[in-house]
Amino acid sequence: MLHLCIKAENAKLRHSVIWLAALLVPVIPAIMGTFNYLQNTDILTGAWYSLWSQFTLFYSLLFYAPLIGVYCSYLWRLEHMNHNWNVLMTMPVSPASIFAGKLVIILKVTLFTQLWVYVLFVIGGKLVHFPGLPPLDILLWTLRGTLAAIAIGTLQLLLSMCIRSFAIPIGIALAGGCIGLVLSNLNMGLFWPYALLMMGMNSNSYEDKMSGGLLPFLISTLFFFLLFFGISIYLLKKRDVKA
């Protein structure tokens, strides 16, 4: 059943505006980060690492979580239109398969977005004449930050499932990212799902803040995933067909 749900959700991505958002929106923080680096080269002397700190300063704070929010709102949009929720609730598949199918698609698109952000980062580095390629650990930070989508994507899917508005869950994601920055600076990021993306990507930092401490990050990500997934399945099971 899960395979059929994933196949159905994949069909929504064909000719979807999601891909356009995934391609165009990350260009904005890429330009902002590169410009900010060029304006502060006298104090940003860490080459690729300095550029990464500026990239992630804008991307992880203002764009990453809201982008996931856009993806989640889009996947639930059809179910919220007209009487499509009735069709969803009468399908011969389990609520867990329905929700998990959407989550798999969110992770797929988020991975694409993250890799595209890394490509933009490399392009930015070449435009400012950095030699060679970025250190391997920056690519690992990019992939590690993608793991945060497991927690954030589950939460945003839950919000978009319960809130019919397309924009409100996205606004919540933006606010969550801002709060996440504060909690990350207070070393409390593990207790807030939106802070995990900043921790994973080593946002606005030269040195790996999670060096030797990956396990707490993974445990926190798993905890939030199980929490929001469990709540979502419970609500899906309790929701009846709407007249």
Q: Where along the chain do its domains lie?
A: 2-238
| Per-residue model confidence as pLDDT tens digits over 31-88 | 999 999 999 888 888 889 999 989 888 898 889 999 999 999 998 887 777 566 666 6
Q: Are 66 and 223 in contact (CB under 8 A)?
A: no
How confident is the model at residue 240, as a pLDDT?
A: 52
| Per-residue model confidence as pLDDT tens digits over 183-218 | 888 888 899 999 999 898 988 777 777 776 789 999
| Per-residue model confidence as pLDDT tens digits over 76-119 | 887 777 566 666 666 677 888 889 999 999 999 999 999 999 99
Long-range contacts of 87-94 (CB under 8 A, 24+ apart): 89/239, 89/240, 89/241, 90/241, 92/1, 93/1, 93/4, 93/5, 94/1
d(CA 115, CA 119): 6
How confident is the model at residue 241, as a pLDDT?
A: 42
18, 63, 70, 83, 135 from 49: Cα distances, Å? 30, 20, 29, 50, 8
